[in-house]
Amino acid sequence: MDFTIGKLTYADGLAYRYFVRDEDGELQYIADRSGMLLPSPTRLVEFFDPERSLVARLQPPDLLPWQRATRYEIIIGEEVEPHAVIFVKWRLVDLILLRLPRYTLELGTHRYAARAARYGKRLCHVFPAPEEEPEDEEEEDEEAGGEENGGEPEGEREQEEKAEEVEVLPLEELVAADNESDGEAETPEPATLATVERAATGAGYVIAVEEEGDEGAPLREDLFALASLAILIDMELYS
């Protein structure tokens, strides 16, 4: 299944309206960046049908202007519970190298990961999200350390110890260590379920979803999820 997203932009490439069309070229939704018109601009996006009736919205969290949003909800109609959720994860290496963040799409009981790129034909590709590793229980470790040292307060013990030297890693080692911590060095990414590519002509994107397989079935049946993901990445790209 393929569909396209066209957009109207200002001179600097910043989009203010998107057009979602199906594989036959029929207009399905018009997405307006309504949040741009608020006194404190946000990334709120509202989806309208061709008759301009509101059908869904991409809702950002309530944040201060200088804060980065890490969660966006896709809400259908007047529903209270989100239809889907997009999580945004920024890593230190992404900020240093001016790379786009990582995205996770939760659609019902299904979880998908997306990797985006600033340059090249492909904007992003979507695949099943890897299982999350349990977080380290730092508090328990600190308590155990205190008991081993006879209950001595952590602050006093640190003052008695010799200060550790801060090691500054070269950029190449920082990237390699970051990838290894995420399991990229050992575990290859699963098969791609959907791709978002830049259109050959004009401003917009072509979204292709794999026709076979059960894992990609929710993506094939839901225009809002992938369209919202592509629009969210586009907004970050031109922010």
Asked if residue 5 has pLDDT above 50, the reply is: yes
Output the pLDDT for position 20. 96
**Rounded CA gap, 116 and 125, in Å?**
7
**Rounded CA gap, 220 and 2, in Å?**
9
The strand pair at 45-48 and 204-209 is best described as unpaired
Output the pLDDT for position 176. 59
Output the pLDDT for position 180. 56
Structure tokens at 124: 């992003």
What band does 187 get if pLDDT is binned at 50, 70 and 90?
A: low
**Rounded CA gap, 226 and 32, in Å?**
16
Q: Which of these, 28, 26, 74, 118, lies nearest to 229 by C-alpha position?
A: 74
Asked if residue 12 has pLDDT above 50, the reply is: yes
Output the pLDDT for position 67. 82
Helix (H, G, I), strand (E, B) or coil at 227: helix
Structure tokens at 54: 């509101």
CB 126 within 8 A of CB 105: yes
Share of the chain above pLDDT 90, in %: 54
Once rounded to an integer, what is the mean pLDDT over residues 56-74?
Answer: 90
Q: Give residue for tokens 């069309």.
A: 21
Distances (CA, A) of 115 to 60, 74, 97, 107, 140: 20, 19, 15, 17, 34
Once rounded to an integer, what is the mean pLDDT over residues 111-117?
Answer: 95
Q: Give residue for tokens 């049908």.
A: 49
Once rounded to an integer, what is the mean pLDDT over residues 19-44?
Answer: 93
Contacts of 74 (CB under 8 A, 6+ apart): 56, 57, 58, 59, 82, 83, 84, 85, 86, 224, 225, 228
Output the pLDDT for position 63. 83
Please name the fold of domain 2-131+175-237: Porin (2.40.160)
Strand partners, 48: 30, 54
Strand partners, 110: 107
Name the least confident of 35-39, 171-175, 216-220: 171-175
Output the pLDDT for position 36. 92
pLDDT tens for residues 122-181? 999 999 998 764 444 444 444 444 444 455 555 555 544 444 444 555 656 555 555 555
Asked if residue 73 has pLDDT above 80, the reply is: yes
Higher pLDDT: 96 or 141? It is 96
Residues in the chain, total = 239
Provide the mean pLDDT of the chain. 82
What is the residue-wise DSSP string for 152-218?
--HHHHHHHSPPPPPP---HHHHHHHHHHHTTTTTS------EEEEE-SSSSEEEEEE-SS-STTHH
